[in-house]
Amino acid sequence: MGAPVNPAYRRYHPKWHRDRMPIFWWLRQLSYARFIARELTSVVVAYAAVLLLVELRAISLGPEAFDRFTAWLRSPIPTVLHVFALAALIWHALTWLHLAPRALVVRLGGRRLPDAAVLLGHYAAWIAASALLLWAVLSA
Amino acid sequence: MPEAVAIDIRRYRPEEEAEPHWQRYDVPFRREWMVLDALNYIKDEVDGTLAYRWSCRMGVCGSCGMMVNGQPTLTCATYLESLLPGPIRVEPLRGLPVIRDLVGELSDFLAKLKRVKPWIEREEERPTAAGEYLQTPAEVAAYKQYAMCINCLLCYAACPIYELEPEFLGPAAIALAQRYNLDSRDEGHEERMDVLSTHDGIWACTFVGECSTVCPKNVDPAGAIQRYKLEAALDWAKSVVLPWGRQ
């Protein structure tokens, strides 16, 4: 901290009242709750990455291990879990894409490219990457 | 239309009480009245001990920001009519220490604002005789949005991060830093990066986005912070990948 502008300023001045932030501050309004829910989907993103690693390991251990892994995936609890995880991942990805125009300011010919153009660019890149992946998998 | 409207005000008088308390005032309802007009009525006609800040009455000075029904609001720009039937709850801005009644302590913000150098930094000042620094309309447009900030601190009251981590520079200070960073006459970008690209600077922001929602001047501080994160990350990547990346 630099020198305070007001020399009498103290963060914990005895006569000033400071509210304590409640633990459930994120229930104060819908936008905070939505923010926290979105932050929590990051846990699902991490889970998806770990799941991918486990799958790769099963592949490296041979066909039997991979069959055991896919059999586990098909059982009821993982199925329900992964339907939920997929929904959370899609929401995470979509909200991420929709935040992109706020961070990315593109200027073309002295004009700021409209947010919709930046957003469409991101969607196009997403579709292109997915198509490339699909092509690689199908042609293998 | 009602004849009167109830206003609940959170009072805090440090010489008389340890904790704030709520006090109800009934004010006559007038269609043309803003919340600030009702507060002025209370101060003039009902209870002269009520303390609050105001000045211009036209959404320019940024003094009369308060929590109205839980939302950071400029009281001079909010009609009583839009809050009917009441009671209307008026509190001091959230996240600031309260000196008295509706008056928050601003020194923390002012010190932070100073740290980001919200003025044009030049390596060498041009002599006055050389004339003014000229800008094209496009160069003005690059920063104008951020120059609209009136330091009303509604964005600080909307930001849960500022409340959780009081060291956070906060939305307005960062948006105003961007205002100068994006100014073609300014050369203080590198110095500001040292203050802004830190744990207490842009990286403390988790993009709740409420600062931009409540901003009465459409400054979009959340956008300014995310833009700066992208820039700082690219700057860092350049310095790692390219040996000549950082001048």
Mean pLDDT of B224-236: 90
Tell me the C-alpha distance between A99 and A81, whole Å. Answer: 27
Q: By the CB < 8 Å criterion, does A108 face chain B?
A: no
Among the partner residues B15, B160, B166, nearest to A25 by beta-carbon distance: B160
Contact call for A103 and B160, based on CB within 8 A: no
Q: Express each pLDDT in A20-64 by its tens digit.
A: 889 999 998 999 999 999 999 999 999 999 999 999 999 999 999
Distance in Å, alpha carbon of A80 to nearest chain B alpha carbon: 30
Which uninterrupted H or E stretch holds A45? Answer: helix A30-60
Q: Express each pLDDT in B58-83 by its tens digit.
A: 999 999 999 999 999 999 999 999 99
Tell me the C-alpha distance between A102 and A9, whole Å. Answer: 36
Residues in A closer than 8 angstroms to B226, CB to CB, are 99, 102-103
Write down the ipTM of this complex. 0.83
Q: Express each pLDDT in A7-19 by its tens digit.
A: 666 666 778 999 9
Distance in Å, alpha carbon of B67 to nearest chain A alpha carbon: 13
% of chain A with per-residue pLDDT over 90: 66
Mean pLDDT of B12-39: 94
pLDDT surpasses 90 at B111? yes
Alpha-carbon dihedral sign for residues A107, A109, A115, A119: negative
Tell me the C-alpha distance between A57 and A51, whole Å. Answer: 10
Distance in Å, alpha carbon of B129 to nearest chain A alpha carbon: 30
Q: Express each pLDDT in B178-198 by its tens digit.
A: 999 999 999 999 899 999 999
pLDDT at B159: 95
Tell me the CA distances in angstroms from B236 to B187, B202, B219, B228, B232, one per residue in order.
19, 14, 27, 12, 6
pLDDT at B44: 96
Q: Counting one residue from A and one from B, how many pairs have CB atoms under 8 Å apart?
A: 80
